[in-house]
Structure 1
Amino acid sequence: MKNISERDKKHIWHPLTQHKLHDSMLAITKAKGCVLTDEEGKEYIDGISSWYTSVYGHCNDFILGRVQAQMQQLDQIVFSGFTHEPAVKLSEELIKILPENQEKIFFSDNGSTSTEIGIKMALQYHFNRGEKRNVLLAFEDAFHGDTFGAMSVSGLSVYNGPFEDFFIEVERIAPPTKENISNTLDQLEELLKNNNVAGFIYEPLIQGAAAMQMHDADGLNEILKLLKKYGVITVADEVMTGFGKTGKYFASDYITTKPDVICMSKALTAGLVPMGATSCTQNVYDAFYSGEISKGLFHGHTYTGNPLACAAALAGIELLKSKEIQDNIQRIMASHKKFNAEIKEHPKVLQTRQTGIIYALDLNVEMERYGSLRDKLMKHFMDDGVFLRPLGSTIYISAPYVITEQQLQKIYDSIRSVLELI
């Protein structure tokens, strides 16, 4: 029989892939902790937590045990008209770690749908109150997912090009810096005077797909304060930033003005099974609470509130709150700072940045997002036994919280060596 990667070519269409240019996939047969193993037996350190999900390591025994136990009790049940202990417990535990103004949890099954629901909450909130507000606000270079509402508010045309004629109306502002915040607030006030902005969706502190661009917490707070003044529903997309990556449970914890809605996925279930969640304030929920059926939030997914996903999420939250994981997060942050002090002046490094355990450096070279030089860098990392996935000329690390110092040093060494190739 042919190997897995050869068999893959016959029927599978992969995401974010132009198969005429890249038609060979690496087959992974095993994952444990921070290590991926391919079908040839070669090992790779997972330096990005497999798209920011497996933050407690792959096949974590504690999480597996909880999910296996749940499988013996209840695997799946319709979540419209039914409920169950894992979902109720998860809602309780999420509310404990979310910013203090969050009260209600709406479950779904991935990050894009969690933001889609947040967008619908913002639009329908005003509709239910008899207000016509049909414009959404988002940052330049934002990314919020691949479903239509999420694409509408995303600003990266490499993903959205063929669909842009079908989008919701969106206005954009620059992510805040200390230098631009005054002009941004002036621009924003002009936009808000028309009173047609329903909601603002934003990635707090870090724009992931925009190559880990990081912005100013104080500036974001000023933007949110102004939006609250005009009754705009603020939607924090914490799909990537949530559950410890910024050094706090949520990036919104760094900002005084809290969002009305928070979108979650990825690390929510520790990378074990798909799940999304969208939380909101009591005020948002109350706009949907009515004797009129049409004012309800009519959005549902078959696997909403799946008991196995809830069990994984509950186990993940328990780990996140543990002293061991919190100490590990601090250790990783300190290691990144030490590495940064060494590498930031390298002539091939344009700039560096860090928030929590997320570290990024921009190379001082011209590079396409999915070009040949980027592919050369990725091959170098993989040959070194390190899984890093450059975003164009940006190399970033978002490793699992259980990564060892030895494994971290191997990632750093691979970055050092790649700088000599370009």
Structure 2
Amino acid sequence: MTRQATSPIWHPFTQHALQPEMLPIVRGEGAYLYAADGRRIIDAIASWWVVTHGHCHPAIVQAIQAQAERLDQLIFAGHTHEPAEQVAAGLLELTPPGLAHVFFSDSGATSVEVALKMALGYFKNIGEPRTRIVVMQHSYHGDTIGAMSVGARGVFNAAYEPLLFDVSVVPFPAEGQEQATLDALAEICRRDRPAAFIVEPLVLGAGGMLIYPAAVLREMHRICQAFGVLFIADEVMTGWGRTGTLFACEQADVAPDIACYAKGLTGGALPLAVTLCNHAIFEAHCSIDRTRTFFHSSSYTANPIACAAASANLALWRRPEVRAQIAGVADAQERCLARFRYDERFSDLRRCGTITALDLHADEPGYLADVGPKLQAFFRTGNVLLRPLGHTIYVMPPYCVTSDDLDVIYAAIDEAVDHVL
């Protein structure tokens, strides 16, 4: 028998039989969330990796308020509006060269669905029907059917296996095993002539904050180019400064054929996503033959208010001091992580840009490790929002986080692990 929750809401990634009560939050400001009971909570995971400059950033809030008074919603088929045009132009200024067209959607998963459909549509329309997709072991790209199909198979999607399509998988390029990954990718590209390879650049997020070198990313891109395989960079999480540069692909000097951006696109204020592609992919769909139309949309495609938030966010990224802030957070994260460098309770301490992660020695490793919910519950009592991925604890804060905040976060990790173990 389960305890009955007081609210009818079904929350995401939540087992209500074990966590029937949710914590009411009434306000957010900067790196903090404020609970209904008055507690101030440090948001150490940027509210599921979306908040970049801080909660309720004044410039973004002002843009949302102003746009809401002018135009709230518009059918984007056959129409356009200024905020969307500003976002598209701004993105093409900031993103890797070669990306030339912007397709709007509303979440990271849908941006991935769009990317996969673009890739398959491209090859169909040029008369070279390639249909296979290559993915990386431990990857995660979202929870819609196509996104689940190109992600790791396991507890997340076991019930939905009949709906998922088959893919080719290359091993994660763990330290010392990078060449095996590259050899596997080359062999699949040679043998199967796939349509596309989709990858999270530098960091695999939900797979456990697994980090691999930029040189491997660069070589994977080169292999795809050699075999005419479209390279899809899923930067939904890795974009917007998380890895130390605005986009992770910059560190490998990689210009993807297709790129997916979401989460921090609006600074974390509103849901919005984009899928960018090169001109050849767009051109393959551009024809007087209406059967070659790119058949995808959502009701809120390029919502004007969300686009206004994104435009304000792009303006912030043009300020040198904002990019400098990323380096400061990265340095502070490295300093804080060092306190556990020789701590036998942990292994595989790692950092990429503003992201840190470490694995707790646990009897049951993996996402369903019992230690995960216990740690999360303890962090809540200490007014720190951390949500471990099983036995993996990670910190990914908004960029306005202070050194004092980080000291509190890492002290909470130290105390929580002692308490749980």
What range describes the TM-score normalised by the shorter chain of this pair?
A: over 0.9
- Which of these residues, 400, 413, 416, is aligned with residue 415 of structure 1? 413
Alpha-carbon offset, residue 260 of structure 1: 0.3
Structure 1 7/177 Cα, relative in aligned 2: closer, same or farther at 3 Å?
Answer: closer
- Which of these residues, 243, 254, 268, is aligned with residue 246 of structure 1? 243
| 1:377 alignment partner in structure 2 | 375
Alpha-carbon offset, residue 209 of structure 1: 0.2
- Which of these residues, 376, 384, 387, is aligned with residue 385 of structure 2? 387
Structure 1 340/371 Cα, relative in aligned 2: closer, same or farther at 3 Å?
Answer: closer
Query: Between Structure 1 and Structure 2, how many residues are aligned?
Result: 417
Tell me whether 1:134 sits opposite 2:131 in the alignment.
yes
| 2:401 alignment partner in structure 1 | 403
| CA–CA separation in structure 2 for the residues paired with 1:257 and 1:69 | 37
The amino acid of 1:395's aligned partner reads I
| CA–CA separation in structure 1 for the residues paired with 2:156 and 2:148 | 8
Structure 1 316/176 Cα, relative in aligned 2: closer, same or farther at 3 Å?
Answer: same
| CA–CA separation in structure 2 for the residues paired with 1:337 and 1:143 | 26
| 2:271 alignment partner in structure 1 | 274
| CA–CA separation in structure 2 for the residues paired with 1:357 and 1:171 | 31
| 1:222 alignment partner in structure 2 | 219
Deviations 1:12-62 (A, max 9, x none): 111112222221111111111111111211221000110111111111111
For the Cα contact (< 8 Å) 1:366–1:393, is it kept in 2? no
- Which of these residues, 119, 124, 144, is aligned with residue 122 of structure 1? 119
Structure 1 187/279 Cα, relative in aligned 2: closer, same or farther at 3 Å?
Answer: same
| 2:353 alignment partner in structure 1 | 356
| 1:284 alignment partner in structure 2 | 281
Deviations 1:300-347 (A, max 9, x none): 011111111111011111222323322221111111111222211111
Secondary structure of residue in 2 paired with 1:347: coil
Alpha-carbon offset, residue 182 of structure 1: 2.5
Which stretch of the first structure deviates more once superposed, 70-79 or 340-349?
340-349
Tell me whether 1:323 sits opposite 2:302 in the alignment.
no
Tell me whether 1:88 sits opposite 2:82 in the alignment.
no
The amino acid of 2:233's aligned partner reads A
The amino acid of 1:176's aligned partner reads P
| CA–CA separation in structure 2 for the residues paired with 1:402 and 1:240 | 18
Alpha-carbon offset, residue 190 of structure 1: 2.4
| CA–CA separation in structure 1 for the residues paired with 2:102 and 2:13 | 30
Alpha-carbon offset, residue 263 of structure 1: 0.3
Which stretch of the first structure deviates more once superposed, 87-96 or 339-348?
339-348
Structure 1 32/363 Cα, relative in aligned 2: closer, same or farther at 3 Å?
Answer: same
Tell me whether 1:296 sits opposite 2:326 in the alignment.
no
| CA–CA separation in structure 2 for the residues paired with 1:227 and 1:380 | 45
Secondary structure of residue in 2 paired with 1:420: helix
Which stretch of the first structure deviates more once superposed, 366-375 or 296-305?
366-375
| CA–CA separation in structure 2 for the residues paired with 1:376 and 1:280 | 43
Normalising by structure 2, we get a TM-score of: 0.95
Structure 1 26/92 Cα, relative in aligned 2: closer, same or farther at 3 Å?
Answer: same
The amino acid of 2:374's aligned partner reads K
| CA–CA separation in structure 2 for the residues paired with 1:202 and 1:9 | 40
Secondary structure of residue in 1 paired with 2:135: strand
| CA–CA separation in structure 2 for the residues paired with 1:273 and 1:145 | 18
The amino acid of 2:219's aligned partner reads E
Which stretch of the first structure deviates more once superposed, 43-52 or 368-377?
368-377
| CA–CA separation in structure 2 for the residues paired with 1:89 and 1:214 | 33
For the Cα contact (< 8 Å) 2:132–2:196, is it kept in 1? yes
For the Cα contact (< 8 Å) 2:375–2:417, is it kept in 1? no
Normalising by structure 1, we get a TM-score of: 0.95
| 1:313 alignment partner in structure 2 | 310
Structure 1: gaps of 5 or more residues? 1-5
Alpha-carbon offset, residue 373 of structure 1: 2.0
The amino acid of 1:290's aligned partner reads S
- Which of these residues, 147, 154, 165, is aligned with residue 162 of structure 2? 165
Secondary structure of residue in 1 paired with 2:238: coil
| CA–CA separation in structure 2 for the residues paired with 1:259 and 1:217 | 14
| CA–CA separation in structure 2 for the residues paired with 1:336 and 1:156 | 32
Structure 1 59/287 Cα, relative in aligned 2: closer, same or farther at 3 Å?
Answer: same
Alpha-carbon offset, residue 415 of structure 1: 1.5
CA RMSD of the aligned region, Å?
1.6
For the Cα contact (< 8 Å) 1:176–1:220, is it kept in 2? no
Tell me whether 1:366 sits opposite 2:363 in the alignment.
yes
For the Cα contact (< 8 Å) 1:178–1:219, is it kept in 2? no
Structure 2: gaps of 5 or more residues? none
Secondary structure of residue in 2 paired with 1:159: coil
| CA–CA separation in structure 1 for the residues paired with 2:118 and 2:384 | 40
Alpha-carbon offset, residue 371 of structure 1: 4.3
Alignment of 1:125-204 (within 5 A): 125-177=122-174, 179-204=176-201
